Structure 1
Amino acid sequence: MHTRLRRFVALASGALLAAGLAFASPASASSLSSAAADTTQAQTPLVVNARWGGHPTFDRIVIDLQGNSPEVTVTPVAQLRYDGSGQPVPLAGKYFLEIRLHPAAAHDDAGASVYRGPKLQTIGLPKLKGLAMTGDYEGYVTFGAAFDTLPYYRAYALHSPERFVVDIAR
């Protein structure tokens, strides 16, 4: 009888332990994934402005951010196109740079724009001839810059406040 009692206690304990793990596992995984999603959503940097300026030896583009600095790529392209539609961007120039920030948004969670800068601007600096916001789509914010001559540039982030800078040598 003593052996039967031990077996019963062992089986019952094992069943309760297994049931407890089965119930705890999905809840933990679920709360972890939703917590990770909330963190990711809350940390999406916002693009709030774009500006430019001329200096004695270079022209500068500055993209102002709210939140952390996202990953940014600057790529020479043959032509600027609007994200989503693929339509050409009407900026005059022979050379173009695409500046793409990810993850980033130029709108809040309700879809309202937080971006205060120009959408399409002709600029008369020695190198920089135009700037356009070409997309705010699925976690990417994209800008295009136009030049008459091949741009030699340096791109980097600055902090406090957060911003991304492209310096174009004259």
Structure 2
Amino acid sequence: MKKLLLWLTALLAAVGLAVVAPGPASAATYCGLDWGSLAKSWPGMSTASVTNVRTGQQPCFDRMVVDLNGPVKGYTVRYVPEIIQDASGYTIPVLGNARLQVTVNAPSYDSKGNVTYNPAAKAELSNVAGYQTFRQVVYAGSFEGSTSIGLGVRARLPFRVFTLDGPGSGTRLIMDVAHFW
């Protein structure tokens, strides 16, 4: 009887501790990003044209999207000391402590020379005020079949580049820059 009473007391004590003891601490959400900050490129020239540039915010990164009216065939994205305007070689001032030069191997005009993307404000393609990572998005021009965009960011942070189909027959070049390492 004493053994049964001892076991019952131990069991009640264990159950009581489980109810009273705090659960495990919940850690802050970790994004699990394994991107790097080295140049990323895909060779090839596109017959498509750039039609738009837009940005957005996500919980772990800021995103820039370049819309094309056909398939993306090539790009280069890399950190550079300064953003250089296509053809002229002129340095474009960009806010932020680091700069990404995004070159899409597609022009901002069609095969007849008609402009497909002509931003009204070349020094601010998208309003990124309040973004955690992006500081400024600038148009660096379209020359000899390529379009360049400068992206000023808070610091040299990891990024990834990929493409998505759609909408319709178009494609999108997606670039995500992490909020932290």
RMSD, aligned CA: 1.8
Distance in 2 (CA, whole Å) between partners of 1:132 and 1:168 is 16
Report the counterpart of residue 60 of structure 2 in structure 1. Answer: 57
Distance in 1 (CA, whole Å) between partners of 2:75 and 2:112 is 25
Q: Matched residue of 1:119: which SS?
A: coil
Q: Please show how residues 9-158 of structure 1 align to structure 2 within 5 Å.
A: 44-102=47-105, 104-115=106-117, 117=119, 119-121=122-124, 123-124=128-129, 125-158=131-164
CA positional deviation for 1:116 = 5.1
Report the counterpart of residue 29 of structure 2 in structure 1. Answer: none
Q: Which has the larger radius of gyration?
A: 1
Distance in 2 (CA, whole Å) between partners of 1:119 and 1:163 is 20
Distance in 1 (CA, whole Å) between partners of 2:111 and 2:145 is 12
CA positional deviation for 1:146 = 0.3
Q: Matched residue of 1:111: which SS?
A: coil
Give the TM-score normalised by the residue count of structure 1. 0.70
Distance in 1 (CA, whole Å) between partners of 2:118 and 2:164 is 20
Give the TM-score normalised by the residue count of structure 2. 0.66
CA positional deviation for 1:70 = 1.9
User: Sequence identity of aligned pairs in percent?
Assistant: 29
Distance in 2 (CA, whole Å) between partners of 1:65 and 1:116 is 13
User: Does 2:177 correspond to 1:164?
Assistant: no
Structure 1 runs (4+) greater than 4 angstroms displaced:
none
Distance in 2 (CA, whole Å) between partners of 1:70 and 1:120 is 26
CA positional deviation for 1:51 = 0.2
Q: Matched residue of 1:136: which SS?
A: strand
After the TM superposition, which of the residue ranges 137-146 and 115-124 deviates more from structure 2? 115-124
Q: Matched residue of 1:50: which SS?
A: strand
Unaligned runs of 5+ in 2: 1-44
